[in-house]
């Protein structure tokens, strides 16, 4: 089986997003505090108290979604810890994915998205534009309609190919409204989106030179996990083309349906949406019956996801920690059958001290909860049993009990 992590973009925000996790998990709080220190404003307050659902400016909304997503990913690393086979982010979410894959440093991605958001806000102030979702219409027919409704003064384009049943158009308000009216007259449904600008459209072409120049100030790295690009619907092959793609990304359409097809056709059988809400989860559930789809922002979904991963043999860190605790418990509680005190001290106490040290480290630092350390603990537990002269049948039964747990 293969796993992909998906990161949402602007539009996924909601009032109080990430607040519960912020209260429950130190990792989430530390990420918000680190981001607030870098950008010099209180991001937690902006997320929890700001009017995130009602068209706050693009800059604030994008920073809020970015930090919420990355904080959840760090929580995922501590709580689940399974390295995914792929990552992908929708629109703004591509920045989250690239950061979580190690291609952009956290401090750098914050500054890039913040400065990019300021540029986008300036465009919003000059051009009245909007976006609208169109449902169940053929994409070629919608492309032709957008071309017909565009002029040299006003433009509308298909900006998001989200799924077989959902497309998004972006452009000047009058042009988008004309498209929406015609779509309705043809018997389809069109719904305006709660954003203040026409993302992924020529509306933003005037700031692409500034974005290109700004990105030259930052360093990019080869992703540690393949990240699917919105503009190509294929993985980034190296760090070389990241900056170039992110410039194109500003005005090019999001090829999300093709990106998801790439993942499924390359063996992905499960996805976890890492970030606020369940936008991407809903899109996928309408497209694919054969894959397991979860939302990390939902506590019940996190539990279901844990069960699926553990049953699939991809133990989460939570599950692995349970097994490590079982090792320690069975090492301690197993009866001693060795009457030779000197031999007992020599063959039991030393491996027990090593096992205890490994367990203490795992309890206090998530990075020490690994399969390698668990296997090491199993070996130490069996050394302890050997020193205690535990009968082979009892050893087998106890090992089976640990595996079943």
Catalytic residue numbers, as ranges: 91, 200
Pairing of strands 129-135, 156-163: unpaired
DSSP E strands, 104-226: 129-135, 156-163, 166-172, 189-192
Q: Mention every residue, 6+ apart, whose C-beta is less than 8 A from residue 285.
A: 293
3-state SS, residue 373: helix
In this structure, the strands spanning 292-295 and 268-273 are parallel
Alpha carbon of 203 to those of 47, 209, 214: distances in Å? 27, 14, 19
Residue 94 contacts residue 249 (beta carbons within 8 Å): yes
Strand order in the sheet with 292-295: 227-228, 86-89, 2-7, 268-273, 292-295
Which phi and psi (to 5°) does residue 345 adopt? -60, -40
Q: Is 123 left (phi over 0), alpha (psi -120 to 50) or beta?
A: alpha
Pairing of strands 86-89, 189-192: unpaired
CB atoms under 10 Å from CB of 263, counted, come to 26
């Amino acid at each position: 089986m293969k796993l992909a992590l998906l990161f949402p973009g602007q539009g996924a925000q909601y009032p109080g997003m990430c607040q519960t996790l912020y209260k429950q998990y130190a990792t989430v709080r530390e990420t918000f505090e680190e981001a607030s220190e870098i950008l010099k404003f209180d991001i937690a307050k902006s997320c929890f108290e700001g009017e995130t659902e009602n068209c706050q400016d693009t800059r604030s909304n994008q920073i809020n979604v970015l930090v919420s997503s990355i904080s959840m990913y760090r929580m995922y690393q501590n709580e689940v810890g399974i390295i995914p086979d792929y990552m992908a982010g929708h629109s703004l979410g591509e920045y989250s994915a690239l950061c979580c894959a190690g291609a952009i440093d956290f401090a750098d991605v914050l500054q890039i998205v913040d400065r990019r958001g300021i540029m986008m806000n300036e465009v919003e102030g000059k051009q009245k534009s909007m976006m609208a979702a169109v449902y169940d219409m053929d994409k070629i027919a919608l492309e032709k309609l957008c071309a017909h409704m565009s002029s040299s003064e006003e433009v509308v384009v298909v900006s998001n190919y989200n799924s077989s049943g959902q497309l998004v158009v972006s452009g000047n308000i009058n042009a988008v409204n004309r498209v929406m009216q015609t779509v309705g007259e043809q018997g389809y449904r069109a719904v305006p989106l709660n954003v203040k600008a026409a993302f992924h459209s020529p509306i933003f072409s005037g700031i692409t030179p500034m974005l290109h120049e700004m990105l030259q100030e930052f360093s990019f790295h080869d992703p540690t996990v393949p990240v699917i690009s919105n503009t190509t619907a294929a993985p980034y092959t190296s760090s070389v083309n990241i900056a170039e793609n992110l410039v194109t990304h500003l005005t090019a359409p999001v090829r999300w349906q093709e990106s998801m097809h790439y993942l499924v056709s390359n063996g992905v059988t499960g996805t976890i949406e890492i970030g606020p809400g369940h936008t991407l989860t809903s899109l996928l559930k309408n497209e694919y019956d054969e894959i397991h789809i979860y939302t990390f922002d939902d506590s019940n979904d996190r539990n279901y996801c844990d069960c699926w991963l553990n049953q699939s043999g991809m133990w989460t860190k939570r599950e692995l920690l349970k097994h490590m605790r079982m090792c320690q418990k069975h090492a301690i509680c197993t009866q001693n059958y060795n009457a030779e005190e000197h031999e007992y001290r020599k063959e039991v106490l030393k491996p027990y001290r090593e096992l205890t040290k490994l367990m203490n480290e795992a309890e206090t630092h998530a990075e020490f909860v690994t399969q390698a350390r668990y296997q090491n603990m199993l070996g130490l537990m069996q050394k302890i049993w050997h020193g205690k002269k535990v009968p082979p049948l009892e050893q087998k039964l106890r090992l089976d009990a640990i595996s079943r747990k």
